[in-house]
Structure 1
Amino acid sequence: MGPKSTPKQIKSNTTINNISKVKHGLVKKPCMTIQPPTASSAVAAALRGGAGQGSHPPRPPPPQEVTAAENAEGGEQFFQGNTADVITITHQEDRVNSPCPSSQQHAQVIPAIEFRDMFSFIKDSIRDIQSDVANIRHEMVAQETRILRKMDEKVQTIQTDLRSELVSSTAALQDRIASIEQNISKSDSVAEEFRSIIVKNLEDTNKSDPIQVNDLIQGLGLKDIPVEHVSRKEKRQGAKYPGIVTVVFKDKASKEEVLKSKRNLKNNPRYRNTYIENFVTSEVRKMNSNLRTVLKAAGKDTEFVLRNGMFVKKDAKQ
């Protein structure tokens, strides 16, 4: 057997591309490229010598994991057990987010298949979004159609109800109008009270009463006064004066105009003793009679006179 070769520590040919210090005893992302160690010439000679004597060359021990770094000033060492190589690495202080030098920085390359998958995913997502938008639009159109249909149905229902209500209201209104017309026809006599006057001491001649009333109106100096009808009460037996004449005009304005002009009768010798007064009902006449009785009892009948339901001084103008 040949002479045993003594193990010799050989410094590796590791090319240090980036040197950084260890921060807090930890090595963070060292940027370096380590070449595999090469056997020295002595080791090669020993191997050759052992082979020439028929012995097997010493086998290298199995590789072991690098032990934890020991912090030392100026750098740190990594030892690999049962090896002839010692690797010495010196690091600079690690900086937060400090990129590797541009010469050693490795660019991240996306494989083409991943890019195709990403592009396909984006296309599918856009297609799904377009489909969702189309579905939303279709649903909005359908919802709008349903709303319009319901509104049309509601409007038709309202129109039908309004027609029915209008028909019933029209019928009720027509009935009401007919009832009012009947009441008006029944109350014509009441309405005549506001358009009537009475004439006292109008001579009873061979002429008809309407002709005598027209002559009286002309004697007042009035023209075109429409008269609806004229009636005279019968003279009482033994009465000194003729019966009272009731005149109904077609409107209240004609009546008011005649009452305003009745003072002119005293200027006409023919109608000097004829008197025109407002028409009053029997109830009003009874009330006026009671008022005169009260006035007489108070001793004021010589000072006041009752005219149109009011006490008026005798010397005062009507």
Structure 2
Amino acid sequence: MQHQDSPVPTQASNGSMTSLIPPPRSVSASQVLPTNNAEPDMSISQLYSLLKGGQDNIKESIISIRKEMSEQVDSLRREFEHKIDDSHKEIQAEVTAFHENFKSRITNIETTMAAQDNEFHSFIIKNIEESTVESDLDQVNNMISNGLGLKDSSMKVVKTSRKPKRTGAKYPGIIVAQVKNKDSKSQILSKKRALKQNDLYKNVYIEDFISPDLKKVNDNLHTVLKAVGKENNFIMRNGRFLQRNNNPQRLNTNTQ
């Protein structure tokens, strides 16, 4: 008995026997159609897993980048706010220092101007004795009204201060009196000779106020005149040196 797969002899068209040709093999369906566990299905699954994993990685990377950017932005914002705050403090400190300096300078100017105004409106009174029943201010105003005949209220002295009496001096301390304006002072100084006609005030003298700086200048000038032998050629009146002749030449040392 021959095997199923043995070659079968064939006869050519001329009747001779040719080579043996094996008969076709039968193929089952299971050998042609792939099963569920075939290699193509495994490749698709792996590709899907790879794509899904890549998407997840991209999402995580985006989240990480956003978080890092947010942290950097917050850090930059805090640093910027810190620098702005420091700059604001520095500017505020400079403005405050400038304001205080400017305020101090204004105060000094106002003080200087007030002192100059006081000097411009002030004059000196000599030989008014201190009284236990009457203030210096009242005594000076009575002198202006009764001794000088200036009874207008604008002529009244608004402030007085008495200098201490010098040790061993026989005369009382001088009084520095201040009026409201320079015009009042000028009228009082122009009337001072009237005191000589009043028995009560004939020994009282009124002079222009001389500031310490001007007094120092006058003292220096007096020293110079004395050194050059010209001391007797000039006389001091109201804080000014006047030449002794018919046409007085004034040496004005008043820098006010």
Structure of higher CA gyration radius: 1
Which TM-score applies when normalising by structure 1? 0.40
